[in-house]
Structure 1
């Protein structure tokens, strides 16, 4: 794909700003686009799509911003793992992606890269690129619903494009956008949609990264058993580089792809973020604690789901099946160690006296 204008929605956010910076490093022209704020109580994917199609003013506004773009990156969304108010989450993480996809198709955009979260697969042993999801919280549910919505839109668009009535084309019942200056959309044009499941992304200035560094620096920092399990903890730098690689990829992208593993283990991320050795708790004891935590959360209307899940990942990690990225050579530079060590330094803490600096 030739490099031309790219658009980044949510470029002022944590992930979006990292992507915009990476694109500049790669010599790619990219324009930031502010994400509209939406809310919905709908939980049916098809109804969300129908509601999105009715938002013609917002579709027009986004389509006007997409004019001339080949690649649109949706880095917007509401990252609130502990939030219980579902309407803003569904609006930002499900309804808005639908509106973006509709506007992109009807403006003739070639490729849409949507930033999702590996949280949609919950406690599954291995994160992968299958459409199967196991959301465990309001946040992960909203992100999973957003994926479902985009996959349904992609199926519909490909079906109509194959029939020569692609949305936005002359023979389609869905007109080109924006309505005041319609784009020219081919009868067989189909927006290519790729959902990126970001793992546990850390970076400078992120509150969760600072919190993780504080916890890792404390005597409570711990792992289950040997601590050698793979950890999905990753860096914003690697995610941004991976997204840039996907946008420039000359072949066909998969519908879903997982952010590549950065070589971390449960123990290594605590050592880097806390500069101390973690406690090694027997794995069976950790398993009992996690089950008890989920049971207690259930009694409290799932209010503790996010916290329990974070403890589970800290102790047991989660494997990452990034085979597609590896097979295609799309492996960004590992920078998570740098991010975590910088977070520790930002706390102004000293090395633990039992920690050997040369290790």
Structure 2
């Protein structure tokens, strides 16, 4: 695909993920069109309900408006949504994370867009020990359920000749993100710990790598699977906390960590899952989560790992001193045309 002739529409271009994707595309010489995402409420309980809502008069009007915005666009990236892992479910959450993707896909089909990239989350697979690119989902919170519902409906709804790609982002960190600052603060505290032996792989990743990979998908000339997983950046749970906190974390007995999590999830369920988001972050800090190599690895589309550098930057803002060298490797060749 000739990059100078590619027009990419980005929904959520003012947000954390969307702004990074828009900047990466612009840096490659692509034409970028920021598009405002409509605010939607949804009361759907399952994918069938959601698809019916997507065909309602109000949703059809929203799709027609977006279709006009997508005129002449080659690729649509939907990075809009509500990133609220700690919050309870709401019509606004379901509307933003589940209904909107269906409407965007319908609008893209109306406008004759070649490809839609829907930013989803690896959280849809919940507590699975290994993340993969299958359609299997096990959401555990209101946020992950809204993302899971959006995936399920998007895979079922008709899209005409438009190719829809669901990109599951992992635990994305970056400058200025509150969750990254909170991670650095925790990593520098006496509470920083991992389940022994501390070598488990973690899905912690960088916004730089996510933006790079999204642009690669936008420019890829061949067909792409319906679900792709953001590539692993190679860090272990110990390496994440060491980079973010400037010192090695405490190693706790595995049985103690599992007992604490079991008790915590039980209490959270009694409180309407209010603690599920925080407990999941604690679980990832202790045990991490492995990733199965997928389409990106098969294509050789592996971004330069920058998660360690991003965490070091966050730690520097917290005033933490670092002792470990930054891990670097050459940036791979992109698929864009010259």
Per the normalisation by structure 2, the TM-score is: 0.93
Structure-2 change in CA distance of 1:50 and 1:357 (3 Å): closer
CA contact (8 A) 2:173 2:180 kept: yes
CA contact (8 A) 1:122 1:133 kept: yes
2:111 equivalent in structure 1: 107
Q: CA deviation at 1:358?
A: 6.3
Q: Which of 15, 26, 30 is equivalent to 1:13?
A: 15
Q: Which of 312, 327, 338 is equivalent to 2:283?
A: 312
1:67-99, CA deviations, whole angstroms, 9 ceiling, x for partnerless residues?
001100000010000111321110000011111
Match of 2:113, SS? coil
Match of 1:76, SS? coil
Structure-2 change in CA distance of 1:357 and 1:63 (3 Å): closer
1:98-120, CA deviations, whole angstroms, 9 ceiling, x for partnerless residues?
11000001111110000000000
Q: Which of 287, 290, 293 is equivalent to 2:258?
A: 287
1:77 maps onto 2:77 in alignment = no
Q: CA deviation at 1:288?
A: 1.1
1:215 maps onto 2:217 in alignment = no
Which range moved further: 45-54 or 227-236? 45-54
Which range moved further: 211-220 or 314-323? 314-323
1:162 equivalent in structure 2: none
1:276-319, CA deviations, whole angstroms, 9 ceiling, x for partnerless residues?
11000011111111111111111111111111111111000000
1:239 maps onto 2:217 in alignment = no
1:327-359, CA deviations, whole angstroms, 9 ceiling, x for partnerless residues?
1011111111110000000112345xxxx5569
Could you list the runs of 4 or more consecutive aligned residues of structure 1 that deviate by over 6 angstroms after TM superposition?
Answer: none
Q: CA deviation at 1:2?
A: 3.9
CA contact (8 A) 2:228 2:294 kept: no
Root mean square deviation, CA, Å: 1.3
Report the count of equivalent residues.
322
CA contact (8 A) 1:259 1:322 kept: no
1:137 equivalent in structure 2: 141
Which range moved further: 283-292 or 273-282? 283-292
Which range moved further: 283-292 or 140-149? 283-292
Match of 1:212, SS? helix
Name which one, 1 or 2, has greater alpha-carbon Rg: 1
CA contact (8 A) 1:123 1:134 kept: yes
CA contact (8 A) 2:246 2:320 kept: no
Which range moved further: 39-48 or 120-129? 39-48
1:149 maps onto 2:153 in alignment = yes
Match of 1:106, SS? helix
- Alpha-carbon distance in 2 for matches of 1:195, 1:357: 35
1:61 maps onto 2:65 in alignment = yes
Per the normalisation by structure 1, the TM-score is: 0.87
Where structure 1 has 5 or more consecutive residues not aligned to the other structure, the ranges are 158-165, 167-189
1:42 maps onto 2:13 in alignment = no
CA contact (8 A) 1:113 1:194 kept: yes
Q: Which of 189, 193, 198 is equivalent to 1:227?
A: 198
Where structure 2 has 5 or more consecutive residues not aligned to the other structure, the ranges are 327-338
- Alpha-carbon distance in 1 for matches of 2:282, 2:155: 31
Match of 1:6, SS? strand
Q: Which of 220, 227, 232 is equivalent to 1:261?
A: 232
- Alpha-carbon distance in 2 for matches of 1:217, 1:128: 31
- Alpha-carbon distance in 1 for matches of 2:162, 2:105: 8
